[in-house]
Amino acid sequence: MARARIEIDTEKCIGCKKCMNACTTDVYRFDAENKKIVARYPDECEWCLVCEVQCPNQCIRIIPDRPVYVPDPFL
């Protein structure tokens, strides 16, 4: 069962692979045919949100299935 839903705005995605390279749990794959990123293994997502931060076009949104604590320095 997925612990988070991963939304990727494919209209804004430029296929830069920054999210894929930043993901430590190997959630993303590059779809060479469409030249876009896809969340191939969303069940592996650890909600670190690094992919969101690394995306230059803000295409990725991680939506956890429960509230996530965000430390003060990141607010």
Give the Cα separation of 44 and 42 in Å (integer): 5
Round to whole Å and give the CA distance between 54 and 62.
Answer: 13
pLDDT at 74 over 70: no
**pLDDT reading at 62 higher than 80:** yes
Is the confidence at residue 66, as pLDDT, over 80? no
Per-residue pLDDT tens over the stretch 4-40: 789 999 999 999 999 999 999 999 999 999 999 999 9
pLDDT for 1 equals: 47
Spell out the domains of the chain, with CATH numbers in brackets: 4-65 (3.30.70.20)
Residues of the chain with pLDDT > 70, as a percent, come to 89
- Alpha-carbon gap, residue 60 to 51, rounded angstroms: 7
